[in-house]
């Protein structure tokens, strides 16, 4: 069956979530442990709340240095998935799945949460959150895509990606809660023609980068120097032997910078740009821009521990006369289905623009699809 290979990849990803679901965090234990640790080590008596392994720490009145120490201490507790800090003008809400609470008519409730991550070598988490609709953001995924035209190799395409952003070191700027980190990012992105007799590999893009990011409250930045190369599958080349298809030795290095700001109620805006160097072919144009918007619902659907997600990513390349490439995704994130700290997302997707698959970068495509994604 032509869909067997793609189905097997997707099934492995989905089945692995059941292993993570079998071992939920003991929130009561974590809350008691956290309160004791804060009192014994930092002489702080703070009423933390815990839900699904996420600790919310009220920090109103704490010095920046004490905040950083407290967060670092809480991250070291076994079973903790995340640590959030909350500035509040009233009691902390009991449901800390909310990242923002609307001000009531009498103005007595106002909660703003931010995250301070652990520091040191190989720390947990990321200062710059992944770009959910970016077709070339390194993560683990499997998707089925139906192309609306014939200018790609087939209409039924299975796309998989394998990759990660790995922070090697993180620290605070002085005694403040502003943080920076440095690490590596790498990803492999492959497309398979599910309509071919052997589900032929069509194209694979390899991306490797050194990056640095920073975060201050709701503002974050991500800069990198990267290499990308693209390669065609053997079966695809054999099928194209008698056609006019022209293979391109596409390989280049580049640098880019993205800035992000997280607004209340789960809305995030980002934008940036970049340029290429050491280009092959040498006539590739240099500049590009990228920007987008995301919405992660601060309200959870409790019966399925799901959060709705909507994201749109837009890219413009000088190579394509600044034509607009649009990638949009929408679906849900399962909070309780995690593997190695990654949350499962099931997202419908739509793309219209020049294809991100490297060897076909001169071709304009349109597709709809459905995929499974793992993100921190």
State the SS3 of 155-218: CEEEEEEEEEEEEEEEEECCCCCCEEEEEEEEEEEEEEECCCCCCCEEEEEEEEEEEEEEEECC
Cβ atoms of 87 and 56 within 8 Å: the answer is no
State how far the Cα of 216 lies from the Cα of 172, in Å rounded to an integer: 10
pTM (2 d.p.): 0.78
Cβ count within 10 A of residue 369? 18
Q: What is the pLDDT of residue 280?
A: 93
**Nearest alpha carbon to residue 86 among 101, 75, 76:** 101
At 38, list the tokens.
Answer: 């804060």
- SS3 of 25, please? coil
Q: What is the pLDDT of residues 196-228, one digit of tens each?
A: 888 899 999 999 999 999 999 899 999 999 999
Q: What is the pLDDT of residues 123-163, one digit of tens each?
A: 888 999 999 999 999 999 999 999 998 878 889 999 999 99
At 139, list the tokens.
Answer: 């993560």
Cβ atoms of 275 and 265 within 8 Å: the answer is no
Task: Please report the DSSP string for 62-74 in residue order.
Answer: --HHHHHHHHHHH
Cβ atoms of 155 and 132 within 8 Å: the answer is no
CA-based angle 97:335:329, to the nearest 5? 100
Q: What is the pLDDT of residue 116?
A: 77
Q: What is the pLDDT of residues 17-65, one digit of tens each?
A: 443 343 344 788 888 888 888 888 888 888 888 887 788 888 877 887 7
Residues 6 or more apart in contact with residue 276 via CB below 8 angstroms = 252, 253, 254, 284, 286, 288
């Amino acid at each position: 069956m032509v869909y067997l290979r793609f189905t097997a990849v997707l099934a492995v990803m989905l089945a692995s979530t059941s292993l993570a679901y079998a071992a939920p965090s003991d929130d009561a234990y974590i809350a008691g442990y956290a309160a004791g640790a804060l009192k014994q080590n930092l002489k702080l008596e703070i009423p933390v709340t815990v839900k699904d392994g996420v600790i919310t720490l009220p920090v109103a009145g704490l010095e920046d240095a004490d905040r950083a120490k407290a967060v670092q201490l809480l991250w070291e507790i076994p079973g903790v998935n995340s640590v959030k800090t909350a500035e509040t003008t009233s009691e902390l809400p009991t449901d800390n799945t909310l990242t923002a609470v609307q001000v009531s008519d009498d103005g007595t409730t106002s909660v703003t949460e931010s995250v301070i991550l652990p520091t040191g070598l190989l720390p947990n988490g990321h200062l710059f959150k992944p770009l959910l609709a970016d077709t070339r953001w390194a993560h683990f995924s499997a998707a089925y895509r139906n192309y609306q035209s014939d200018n790609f190799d087939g209409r039924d395409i299975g796309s998989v990606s394998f990759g990660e952003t790995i922070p090697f070191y993180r620290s605070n700027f002085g005694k403040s809660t502003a943080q920076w980190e440095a690490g590596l990012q790498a990803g492999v992105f492959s497309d398979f023609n599910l309509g071919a007799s052997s589900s032929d590999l069509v194209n694979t893009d390899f991306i490797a980068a050194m990056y640095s990011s920073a975060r201050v409250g709701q503002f974050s930045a991500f800069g990198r120097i990267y290499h990308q190369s693209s390669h065609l599958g053997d079966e695809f080349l054999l099928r194209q032997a008698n056609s006019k298809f022209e293979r391109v030795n596409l390989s280049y290095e580049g640098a880019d910078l993205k800035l992000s700001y997280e607004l209340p109620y789960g809305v995030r805006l980002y934008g940036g740009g970049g340029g290429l160097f050491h280009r092959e072919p040498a006539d590739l144009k240099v500049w590009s821009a990228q920007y987008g918007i995301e919405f992660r619902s601060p309200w959870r659907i409790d019966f399925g521990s799901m959060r709705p997600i909507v994201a749109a990513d837009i890219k413009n390349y000088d190579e394509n006369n600044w034509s607009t490439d649009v990638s949009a995704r929408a679906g849900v994130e399962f909070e309780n289905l995690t593997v190695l700290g990654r949350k499962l997302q099931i997202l419908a997707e739509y793309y219209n623009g020049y294809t991100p698959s490297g060897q076909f970068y001169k071709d304009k495509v349109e597709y709809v699809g459905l995929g499974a994604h793992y993100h921190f």
